[in-house]
Structure 1
Amino acid sequence: MRRFSDDADFLTVYIKEAHADDGAWANLPTERFHVKNHKSLEDRNEAAKLLTDILPCPIYIDALDDEAARVYKAFPDKMIIIFGDQIKYTSSQIGPSGFDVDEMATCLEKILKS
């Protein structure tokens, strides 16, 4: 983000919680945030607020019907470059462990040069 901040806008869309305490991860010991499945937009908004100290970009929340996650096939998470009204890049693996930041940077460099 620091490298491209003069030329691109970055944002996070917080979608359905992948590791909800009252879901499949309920009985696993963890030091992560404790978030329950969202039953309202207020729940989702409160959960997204937990990320504001970690992510240095604006955070938006997906609708409760998970429209953005569905449209972009983003569950549990994806990196996407949208240029104009076209998707120019979608991470091939789910993240965060599957993300290839260098691949995404290369794609963004090509877009910015064109």
Structure 2
Amino acid sequence: MKPNNNSVVCPAELAIQILSGKWKLYILKNLMDGKKRFSELQRAIPGITQRMLSKQLRELEACGLIRRTVYPVVPPMVEYELTEIGKSLEDVFNAIHKWGLKYVEAMSIKTLECQEENSS
């Protein structure tokens, strides 16, 4: 998914390609508040299978958005966290949250409480 350095790409199309999929944005949002273990991510994302979570994590790591750290303990402990470029998506999530609020209001939709984003 990550283009080579000689590729000519449209930045918007590349971003959509990297972030597309049912689960990637959920994974990234859950990593916004810090490192998580695999089991923590799986519990935080209802409906995602272990196989799909593994696949999506590998893809996000290959794109450079997350970092996987394996600790040399028995049993092995693995943590996932955002890289600097992954952390830069926080503004995108804040914009999505603001848009969601406007949409909910415009469509008179009842919502569940969700974590407030840092909006200015």
Q: Do these two structures clear the TM 0.5 threshold for a shared fold by scoring above it?
A: no
Which protein is bigger by CA-based radius of gyration?
Answer: 2
The TM-score normalised by the length of structure 2 is: 0.28
Query: How high is the TM-score relative to the length of structure 1?
Result: 0.29
Greater helix proportion: 2
